[in-house]
Chain A
């Protein structure tokens, strides 16, 4: 019964986090779109700060637990030419850290923004409860909805 109560609470909190993260990434992406046509395009730090300004109100958010990969296809200018980063079962985004400077002319440029938020251990212990001596990481799906230990939020936008 205790396990159920804890499970319910964690699931609710994680779903709330995910919705807030989606909204925060949407807001940050909008900022990125607006800044791309200016003389001072947004930096990775500014992007993270933008996400954390909203998401940080509900969850611990910083450079250390927020992984970002931004890819812009400036060659063929197609989404099909972008290979999305993969999130491992442990919640590691790979590759991560890319944040290209988007050219201010010659666009529009397809841009894929991927954000992965690794759940803190105090939130993520539930799927790792020993079960017959083994762990069941696939239970992460209850918390994150994607069988990894990270909340994932993607945005595919056309940057003008």
Chain B
């Protein structure tokens, strides 16, 4: 016991290689700060990129079907491929693209709703619906922040497209943290086809009529 104490005491008083020890302590601290700064900056950049991707996906839906006909079944998935290409150089392994369309059937009462969700680099269709009819309705009516389908003064065919893009951030933090941060961006827009009664539809996707009073 006394010997161990003596050794510890000698070690504490030993002035050899002090600079090396100090360097090792400071270096590890700086390395941690450096990696942390890099991660935070990359996270912010990825979030900004996600915002652009969500906007471009929404823009793609806006201009699709300029003649008002139903979108072919493959178009939503192809727009998701566009999102994957636009997200580069970031990988789209943890990407999900959710698109919902709400079109007024009876203003202030019922609406037609459909949703399609895709995931990953290959844009695999996923179920169940991520946004959901209730949330979609709330988002586009005065219940939420949208107000795109007003409860009074609205017209049949009023439309809102909701695009929600989510990415599980694959950065360095994932190496030692079991949960990675999830970045989400949401954009709302309106189908460009100028009609008072036609709803944006996708071949093979049956729209639901939902109560959406606003």
A-side interface residues toward B, CB under 8 Å? 1, 4, 7-8, 11-12, 15, 18-19, 22, 26, 33, 78-80, 82, 84, 87, 107-108, 110, 112, 142, 145-146, 148, 152, 154-160
Which residues on the A side are within 8 Å of B52 (C-beta)? 22, 26, 155
B87 touches A154 (CB 8 A): yes
Which residues on the B side are within 8 Å of A82 (C-beta)? 85
- SS class of chain A's interface: helix, strand, loop or mixed? mixed
Q: Does B86 touch A at the CB level, under 8 Å?
A: yes
B34 touches A7 (CB 8 A): yes
A79 touches B42 (CB 8 A): no
Q: In the complex where A18-B45, A155-B56, A157-B60 touch, is A79 in contact with B89 (Cβ < 8 A)?
A: no
Which residues on the B side are within 8 Å of A154 (C-beta)? 85-89
Q: Does B37 touch A at the CB level, under 8 Å?
A: yes
B88 touches A79 (CB 8 A): no
What total count of A-B pairs have CB within 8 Å? Answer: 89
B38 touches A158 (CB 8 A): no
Q: Does B48 touch A at the CB level, under 8 Å?
A: yes
The contact of B64 among A11, A12, A108, by CB within 8 Å, is A108
The contact of B85 among A8, A79, A159, by CB within 8 Å, is A79
B48 touches A108 (CB 8 A): no
Interface size on B, residues (CB 8 A): 29
A108 touches B63 (CB 8 A): yes
Which residues on the A side are within 8 Å of B87 (C-beta)? 154
**Most chain B C-beta atoms within 10 Å of own C-beta, residue among A33, A79, A80:** A79
The contact of B89 among A145, A155, A158, by CB within 8 Å, is A145
Q: In the complex where A156-B85, A157-B60, A160-B66 touch, is A19 in contact with B34 (Cβ < 8 A)?
A: no
B45 touches A8 (CB 8 A): no
Which of B1-9, B74-82, B156-164, B178-186 contacts the other chain?
B74-82
Which residues on the A side are within 8 Å of B56 (C-beta)? 155-158
B85 touches A11 (CB 8 A): no
Least CB separation from A152: chain B residue: B89
Least CB separation from A160: chain B residue: B63
Q: Which of B160-192 contact A (CB under 8 A)?
A: 192
B60 touches A87 (CB 8 A): no
Least CB separation from A71: chain B residue: B85
Q: List 9 A-B pairs, Cβ < 8 Å.
A: A11-B38, A12-B37, A26-B52, A87-B89, A108-B63, A155-B86, A157-B59, A158-B64, A160-B192
Least CB separation from A159: chain B residue: B63
Q: In the complex where A19-B45, A78-B78, A156-B83 touch, is A107 in contact with B88 (Cβ < 8 A)?
A: no
In the complex, what distance in Å separates the CA atom of A160 from the CA atom of B64? Answer: 8
In the complex, what distance in Å separates the CA atom of A75 from the CA atom of B60? Answer: 17
B37 touches A11 (CB 8 A): yes
In the complex, what distance in Å separates the CA atom of A156 from the CA atom of B74? Answer: 17
User: Closest approach, in angstroms, between the C-beta of B58 and any C-beta of chain A?
Assistant: 10
Which residues on the B side are within 8 Å of A79 (C-beta)? 78-79, 81-82, 85
3 interchain residue pairs of minimum CB distance? A156-B86, A156-B82, A146-B89
Which residues on the A side are within 8 Å of B74 (C-beta)? 78
Which residues on the A side are within 8 Å of B89 (C-beta)? 87, 145-146, 148, 152, 154
Q: In the complex where A108-B64, A145-B45, A154-B87 touch, is A80 in contact with B81 (Cβ < 8 A)?
A: yes
Q: Does B41 touch A at the CB level, under 8 Å?
A: yes
User: Closest approach, in angstroms, between the C-beta of B86 and any C-beta of chain A?
Assistant: 4
In the complex, what distance in Å separates the CA atom of A142 from the CA atom of B37? Answer: 11
The contact of A112 among B30, B49, B85, B192, by CB within 8 Å, is B85
